Structure 1
Amino acid sequence: MGDLNRVQTARAPAWHDQGDAGERAFCRRIARVAVRSLYAELVLYPKPGLVSTVDNGSHTDMTAATFMRSLFALRRYFGDITRAGMVDAPFHVLKQLGIDAEARMLRATAGINTHRGAIFCLGMLCAAIGRCRARAEALTPARIADLLRACWGQALGAHSIVNDDHASHGARVSLRYAASGAREEGALGFPAVFAVGLPALQRALAAGRGMREARIDTLFALMAHISDTNVYHRGGIEGALTVRRQARAFVARGATAAPDWEARALASHRSFVAARLSPGGAADLLGAVCLVHAVTTR
């Protein structure tokens, strides 16, 4: 794993190794928070259909160990893209950093896509966090979202247009079902993170529930709200309706405030596994919510 920290592109030193000592320390800190946020998503349980340290959910090709290898491979990326955001790098630079990170992920996982959506979502948020730092602005959810749209919104909007013959599963699903995916979320400044997931997390914490329960609430709120291209890919329209219906029922019953919440979440997990449904898009956005919450509440 140590070799992954030393890998650098041949073109230039790693972005997070540039700048003064304070900037480098900031980039390293944000990278650690990003990795910890994705780890928090991984170890959360029960998560309907998703890989955790308890079981593999609806997946036969990946385990928690696969995700851990991916996380180690992505450590440098989050620092690099934070630094790139600090210097107001154009979108094509951020995109290339993401492409390089995806290649490292695939090498680490023997070709299994564990974090493609998270590379895009958390990467863009790290860039916006870096931009906040460069402008000496307070790290608040509103400013992170505002700067994301102001600095890269136009490019993200163009990026959301699918015209690639080698498009990902998510992009092809978007064309077939007109479902919103990571590209569309990014073009709009990740409203699911700032208007759905983060408020759900904050409400649960304000009500006195623990972080585990707050993250479960957040996941179900996201599942109830987004059109998850991962679900459409595996289950089509019927699968998507199943996910949204069960998530909305869980939220309507009070989410983790209900005394039987864990049994209901486990029942959804078993149901999703039986149908091979995996709301990976919601899981990526949960990681993004954890990142934004962590950097704005310190």
Structure 2
Amino acid sequence: MNVALRWQAPPQRALRAEQLGHLASLCLKLEVETYPKPGLVSHVDNGAHRDMDAGLLCRSADTLAPFFHDLAAAGAEGAGMDRLRAIGVAAERAMLAATSGVNTHRGAIFGLGLLCAAAGYRGALGIRKPLGELVSQRWGDAIYAGPISLRSHGAVASRRYGAGGARAEAACGFPSVYDIALPALHAARTLAPRDEEAVRVQTCMALIADVADTNLLHRGGVDGLRFAQASASAFLAAGGIGCPGWRKHADGIHQAFVARNLSPGGSADLLAMALFVDALFVDRLAP
């Protein structure tokens, strides 16, 4: 597999829903084609996962493209959260059918799906606000008021440990995307201007270092989260991808996560969301 982000936003500000759906799916594939990401599935190995590999994740991303398209179209039509949630439920069913029951992208359906809806809405109205701000303004209250998943490992960990989780992240306008991932992404491009995979590794490490990832809490509890955050922070403090031999350092962290059965799935979803937002140049023009 060799995925490249061959995305150039059309000159018009309002992208078609189909284009947005394709971009969202592509960003999920780019997350897969990033190594070394601690504990996560990549094109190199399966990380801490026994039930999925890169091929399965890419098949899932392809399956979700038309649903991201539908979410963007619904957003353009001014849909409320009930309609968006119904599309998301249908997307989850299609994902599980395509993966024989493996939860590959439930978190991404929620977060990336809302960003697609916001992109559709923004394009239809011709406004310049950041997508995260639109999600919070348009659907934030409904996100908090909606049903709580009893099946999601992240939701269970969120309730057990008091972490905000995906629901709080979305309702607040995706602060981890805008305050952590995007600044890390842009800074990393100055360190490795011709290596987008390295840029994604650096961004993923920044997210792991700062986010209370409920997937890490589910797998390793508070100790697992602290270990993960300390490991990623040490990588960044040593210079990250700007340090000679950084790949060996990152690979060592990856192997340590695998040995402890740790997988920062929430950070992986946030990485894909940051790639999506970054690709839509309008966000860079927003005040």
Fold-level match, TM-score > 0.5?
Answer: yes
Cα distance in 1 for residues equivalent to 2:100 and 2:14: 31
Cα distance in 2 for residues equivalent to 1:225 and 1:232: 14
What is the CA distance between 1:24 and its match in structure 2? Answer: 10
- Structure 1's unaligned 5+ residue stretches are 1-21
**Equivalent position to 2:267, from 262, 265, 282:** 282
**5 Å matches for 1:150-161?**
150-159=137-146
Pairing 1:168–2:152 present: yes
Residue 192 of structure 2 contacts residue 199 of structure 2 at CA under 8 Å; is this kept in 1? Answer: no
Query: Secondary structure in 2 aligned to 1:278?
Result: coil
Partner AA of 1:116 in structure 2: R
Structure 1, residues 171-202: CA drift from partner, whole Å, max 9, x if none? 11111111231111111111001111011001
Partner AA of 1:38 in structure 2: L
Pairing 1:96–2:86 present: yes
Q: Percent identity?
A: 43
Structure 1, residues 77-98: CA drift from partner, whole Å, max 9, x if none? 0100001111110001111111
How many residues matched?
271
What is the CA distance between 1:58 and its match in structure 2? Answer: 0.4
Pairing 1:200–2:169 present: no
Name the counterpart of 1:177: 161
Residue 135 of structure 2 contacts residue 171 of structure 2 at CA under 8 Å; is this kept in 1? Answer: no
What is the CA distance between 1:145 and its match in structure 2? Answer: 2.1
Cα distance in 1 for residues equivalent to 2:13 and 2:275: 22
**Equivalent position to 1:137, from 127, 152, 158:** 127
Query: Secondary structure in 2 aligned to 1:185?
Result: helix
**Equivalent position to 1:106, from 96, 106, 113:** 96
Residue 14 of structure 2 contacts residue 122 of structure 2 at CA under 8 Å; is this kept in 1? Answer: no
Name the counterpart of 2:117: 127
Cα distance in 2 for residues equivalent to 1:146 and 1:281: 20
Residue 180 of structure 1 contacts residue 226 of structure 1 at CA under 8 Å; is this kept in 2? Answer: no
Moved over 6 A (4+): 22-25
Q: TM-score scaled by structure 1?
A: 0.87
Partner AA of 1:272 in structure 2: F
Name the counterpart of 2:210: 225
Partner AA of 1:231 in structure 2: L
Structure 1, residues 97-152: CA drift from partner, whole Å, max 9, x if none? 111100000000000000001000100000111111011124xxx52222111111
Cα distance in 2 for residues equivalent to 1:180 and 1:137: 29
Query: Secondary structure in 1 aligned to 2:44?
Result: coil
Q: TM-score scaled by structure 2?
A: 0.90
Deviates more, 1:219-228 or 1:65-74: 65-74
Residue 98 of structure 1 contacts residue 120 of structure 1 at CA under 8 Å; is this kept in 2? Answer: yes
Name the counterpart of 2:136: 149
Cα distance in 2 for residues equivalent to 1:137 and 1:179: 33
Name the counterpart of 1:11: none
**5 Å matches for 1:21-60?**
26-60=16-50
- Structure 2's unaligned 5+ residue stretches are 1-11
Cα gap change, 1:146/1:47 in structure 2, threshold over 3 Å: closer, same or farther? Answer: same
**5 Å matches for 1:236-275?**
236-275=221-260
Cα distance in 1 for residues equivalent to 2:274 and 2:90: 24
Name the counterpart of 1:235: 220
Cα distance in 2 for residues equivalent to 1:137 and 1:180: 29
What is the CA distance between 1:53 and its match in structure 2? Answer: 1.2
Partner AA of 2:208 in structure 1: M
Structure 1, residues 8-31: CA drift from partner, whole Å, max 9, x if none? xxxxxxxxxxxxxx9997111111
Residue 73 of structure 2 contacts residue 120 of structure 2 at CA under 8 Å; is this kept in 1? Answer: yes
Query: Secondary structure in 2 aligned to 1:205?
Result: helix
Residue 107 of structure 2 contacts residue 266 of structure 2 at CA under 8 Å; is this kept in 1? Answer: yes
**5 Å matches for 1:207-218?**
207-209=191-193, 210-218=195-203
What is the CA distance between 1:62 and its match in structure 2? Answer: 0.9
Partner AA of 1:176 in structure 2: R
Cα distance in 2 for residues equivalent to 1:189 and 1:59: 30
Name the counterpart of 2:171: 187
Residue 88 of structure 2 contacts residue 110 of structure 2 at CA under 8 Å; is this kept in 1? Answer: yes
